[in-house]
């Protein structure tokens, strides 16, 4: 069964053809990073215009690369949300029109669920229950997945997503956009123990995450120690590399520490780490060490499948198709779309009144 996936939730226009939810026949991604670099972040209006200009050619290229015609497609899956409304609408309207014209099933996919499915192509089948850390520029959540297609948010960020924090701290340090890859590169030359930033403590005892205080701590350190931002063309100073390493280390300790504590409570058989920040090699190494301590395998997507792509949307769409789920032609973009269909899954955690302190 062939599913055409379409992704346009933020700043990548992507299309892919996937067979039986696990075999990628084609995957085409047009990134907008260079367009948004001068602004230090994604400009929604520019992003949606670029999607509108590129999407037809991207889908056509995906079909050509897959070596199939539209008549061979069994369904069209498209990111329905969450994301930027203008960007989402481009993909949703295109996908709806294509599915209607072809007389094929339409499947609206939660973008975050797509990240969960990004690991299916290069890993053994997931053993349930699973625990998934989805960490990117727009999302940072941990999901308990007792069975395929069943989700409960057991941890979320109270403010910034981790990837957003990387971007903002990189901007403070004068490093440019996107911040994640730059900070990761500079952190290799820095001392992660040079500056001991505190981890956020959630007052109500929930195992949630927070990164806004860490950003403030970086700004405070720069001010109190007279650390100026990096100037264009300037050789990177050791103090900047130490700050990058210390900041990155704190984010990773927070993410992996929370994941590990939840795993102790929920006893997953598989750990999943996905999303754009999952490209970070230090995060991968820390998660693998945690998996070893817990006796559970950790599944990551490849770097290309960690960032937004349409293959993951097609894989999630295939799972919905196999379960008999379809979307109506009245389906539209939903910027607040949530990935949670188990309302009481955290009852045991509440009863135990666990207070998480890393």
Q: Report pLDDT for 356.
A: 29
Question: Domain of 293: which CATH number?
Answer: 3.30.420.40
- b/e 336-349 (16+ beta carbons within 10 angstroms → b): ebebbeeeebbeeb
Q: What is the pLDDT of residue 344?
A: 52
> Is 332 within the bounds of a domain?
no
Distance, in Å, from the CA atom of 164 to the CA atom of 180, rounded to the nearest integer, reads 9
Give domain status of residue 330, yes or no: no
What local confidence, expressed as pLDDT, does residue 342 receive? 76
Is there a single domain that holds both residue 19 and residue 102? Answer: yes
Contacts of residue 333, defined as CB under 8 A and 6 or more positions apart, other chains included, come to 80, 81, 83, 85, 88, 89, 92
Helix (H) or strand (E) holding 135: strand 130-135
Do 46 and 179 belong to one domain? no
Tens digit of each residue's pLDDT (9 = 90 or more) over 150-167 = 999 999 999 999 999 999
Q: Is 123 a member of any domain?
A: no
Residues 134, 108, single domain; the answer is no
User: Does residue 90 share a domain with residue 155?
Assistant: no
The per-residue pLDDT for 75 is 98
Q: Is residue 269 part of a domain?
A: yes
Mention every residue, 6+ apart, whose C-beta is less than 8 A from residue 327. Answer: 80, 106, 107, 108
165 shares its domain with 296: yes
Q: Establish if 148 belongs to a structural domain.
A: yes
What does each C-alpha distance from 346 to 91, 113, 154, 350 come to in angstroms?
34, 19, 7, 6
Overall number of domains in the chain: 2
Does 296 lie in the same domain as 196?
A: yes
Is residue 317 a part of any domain in this protein? yes
Same domain, residue pair 37 and 108: yes
Per-residue pLDDT for the chain (358 aa), expressed as one digit of tens each?
A: 999 999 999 999 999 999 999 999 999 999 988 888 888 888 989 999 999 999 999 999 999 999 999 999 999 999 999 999 999 999 999 999 999 999 999 999 999 999 999 999 999 999 999 999 999 988 899 999 999 999 999 999 999 999 999 999 999 999 999 999 999 999 999 999 999 999 988 888 899 999 999 999 999 999 999 999 999 889 999 999 999 999 999 999 999 999 999 999 999 999 999 999 999 999 999 999 999 999 999 999 999 999 999 999 999 999 999 999 999 999 999 999 999 887 654 444 443 333 323 3
* 327 belongs to a structural domain: no
Domain of residue 30: give its range.
2-118+305-322
Q: At what angle do helices 179-187 and 238-266 cross, to 10 degrees?
A: 100
95 with 214, same domain? no
Residues 292 and 153 in one domain: yes
| 255 and 295 within one domain | yes
Q: What pLDDT is attached to residue 353? A: 36
Count of residues making up the chain:
358
CB atoms within 10 A of CB 254: 22
In this prediction the pTM is 0.91
249 and 105 in one domain?
Answer: no
Which residue, 340, 313, 272, 277, is CA-closest to 58?
Answer: 313
- Indicate if 156 and 274 belong to the same structural domain: yes
């Amino acid at each position: 069964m062939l599913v055409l996936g379409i992704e346009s939730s933020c700043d990548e226009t992507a299309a892919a053809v996937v067979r039986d939810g696990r075999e990628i026949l084609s995957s085409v991604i047009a990134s907008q990073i260079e367009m948004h670099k001068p602004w230090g972040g994604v400009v929604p209006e520019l992003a949606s215009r670029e999607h509108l200009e590129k999407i037809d050619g991207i889908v056509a290229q995906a079909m050509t690369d897959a070596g199939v015609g539209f008549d061979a497609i069994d369904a069209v899956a498209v990111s329905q949300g969450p994301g930027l409304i203008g960007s989402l609408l481009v993909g949703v309207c295109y996908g709806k029109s294509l599915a209607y014209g072809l007389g094929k099933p339409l499947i609206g996919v939660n973008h975050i669920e797509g990240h969960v499915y990004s690991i299916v192509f290069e890993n053994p089948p997931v053993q349930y229950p699973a625990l998934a850390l989805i960490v990117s520029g727009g999302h940072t959540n941990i999901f308990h997945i007792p069975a395929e297609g069943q989700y409960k948010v057991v941890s979320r960020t109270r403010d910034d997503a981790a990837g957003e924090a990387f971007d903002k701290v990189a901007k403070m340090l004068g490093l440019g956009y996107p911040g994640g890859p730059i900070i990761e590169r500079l952190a290799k030359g820095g001392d992660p123990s040079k500056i001991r930033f505190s981890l956020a403590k959630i007052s109500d005892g929930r195992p949630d995450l927070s990164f806004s205080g860490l950003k403030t701590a970086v700004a405070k350190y720069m001010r109190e120690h007279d650390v100026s931002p990096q100037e264009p063309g300037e050789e990177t100073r050791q103090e900047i590399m130490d700050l990058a390493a210390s900041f990155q280390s704190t984010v990773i300790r927070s993410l992996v520490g929370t994941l590990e504590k939840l795993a102790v409570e929920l006893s997953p058989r598989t750990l999943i780490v996905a999303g754009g920040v999952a490209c970070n090699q230090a995060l991968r190494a820390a998660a693998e060490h945690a998996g070893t301590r817990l006796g559970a395998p950790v599944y990551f997507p490849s770097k290309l499948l960690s960032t937004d792509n349409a293959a993951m949307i097609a894989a999630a769409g295939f799972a919905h198709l196999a379960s008999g789920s379809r979307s109506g032609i009245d389906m539209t973009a939903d910027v607040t779309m949530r990935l949670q269909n188990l309302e009481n899954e955290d009852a045991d955690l509440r009863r135990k009144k666990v207070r998480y302190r890393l």
